[in-house]
Amino acid sequence: MLIAFISDIHSNLEALKAVLNRIKSLKIKQVFCLGDLVGYGASPKEVIKLMEKIPCIKGNHDYAVVSGDTSWFNPLATQAILKNKEMLSKNEIKFLDSLKEKIEVSFNSKRFLLVHGSPKNPVWEYVYESQVDENFFGEYDVIIMGHTHVPFIKKIKEKIAINCGSVGQPRDYDRRACFVIFDTEEFKGKIIRVEYEIEKAAEKIIRAGLPEFLAERLFLGI
């Protein structure tokens, strides 16, 4: 069985559509989203509409749009969060508020933990590949994360840690949208990259009155 894990869409409709089209072509049986549907980009309403039937967890930008608390964010991220909140209806904000902070599932007797940040702090803590060791996993066989926008797959003995990277704002100097597929039979993951209409996504950011850097960084993958 093939599963897809996506994360950090950040209101980038063009990237999300490209990723969902690739997932459809791969005949994926199940899709999970690891948070940050909104923030940075200019299409939060359209992204939420596409994600309503996909199991999602809450990211830090989702939390900020719901709560209005931007105290943890830099000025650029804050502007985007406040703008995204203006764009959304009460029902769309209610949907973001309803998202859980983690999902636990099992496939072939293997326990999976899905979080945006880390097992200890599901919404806020960043985890990079160098931080993952044998003590990281606890009771789980696979831990899937997002948040850093930097993808990795790290296997330690019989356990695997995965960061999905980012659909809508990659930061590993590869501008293509990123997601991960996992084969539950072979027990291994694979990072997938997808080209999308960056120019269109960037133009929307500018038209929405968001900081130009949020458009420029899409072309650079930073």
Separation CA 60–CA 63 (nearest Å): 5
Q: With cut-offs at 50, 70 and 90, classify the pLDDT of residue 12.
A: very high
Interatomic CA distance for residues 178 and 41, integer angstroms: 16
Band (pLDDT 50/70/90 cuts) for residue 64 is very high
Spans of all domains in the chain: 2-101+165-220
pLDDT at 29 over 90: no
Q: pLDDT value at position 104? A: 98
Model pTM score: 0.97
| Helix (H), strand (E) at residue 191 | strand 188-194
What string of DSSP letters covers 102-154?
A: EEEEEETTEEEEEESS-SSSTTT----GGG--GGG-TT-SEEEE-SSS--EEE
Q: Please, what is the average pLDDT of the chain?
A: 97
Work out the average pLDDT over 26-50.
97
Residue 140 backbone dihedrals phi, psi, to 5 degrees: -100, 150
pLDDT tens digits along 99-126: 999 999 999 999 999 999 999 999 999 9
Distances (CA, A) of 160 to 16, 103, 137: 25, 16, 8
Q: How many CB atoms are closer than 10 A to CB 46?
A: 18
Task: Reply yes or no on whether the pLDDT at 217 is more than 90.
Answer: yes
Q: How far apart are CA 187 and CA 189, in angstroms?
A: 7
Token pair belonging to 12: 């980038």
For 188-204, what is the mean pLDDT?
98
| CATH class of the domain comprising 2-101+165-220 | alpha beta
Residue whose C-alpha is closest to residue 29's, from 100, 108, 147, 145: 108
